[in-house]
Amino acid sequence: MISSRSRLPRHDDELPNELVELARRIAALPPEYQTDLEDPFSQVVESVRRRRRILGVVQEALSQLRLDIKYLMFDLDMTKRERDELLAE
């Protein structure tokens, strides 16, 4: 795993296995190579995390939109029913 003195971000369950493996391989490199790769790797990790957060927000918004549409369809059906009842009177 990533050594304790490495400045690479610690991996967790939110990172793809490929990034975890890349971090492990970077940590196994000599220190001079690790230093060159730490910043680009950190940027990729942040990008993956940001995309996951954005995906979560989009999924939540879609769920809310689906619920709103169900309420609107119900309201439309009730309005049509009320109209039909008034026309029948």
DSSP letter for each residue of 29-51? S-HHHHHHHHHHHHHHHHHHHHH
Domain count, the chain: 1
| Per-residue pLDDT reduced to its tens digit, 9-35 | 555 567 999 999 999 999 999 999 999
67 found inside a domain: yes
If you compute the radius of gyration of the chain from its CA atoms, what whole number of angstroms results? 26
Model confidence pTM above 0.85: no
Residues in the chain: 89
The pLDDT > 90 percentage for the chain reads 82
Residue 28 lies in a domain: yes
Residue 83: give the domain boundaries.
Answer: 17-88
Does any domain span residue 12? no
* Contact by Cβ (8 Å): 1, 12: no
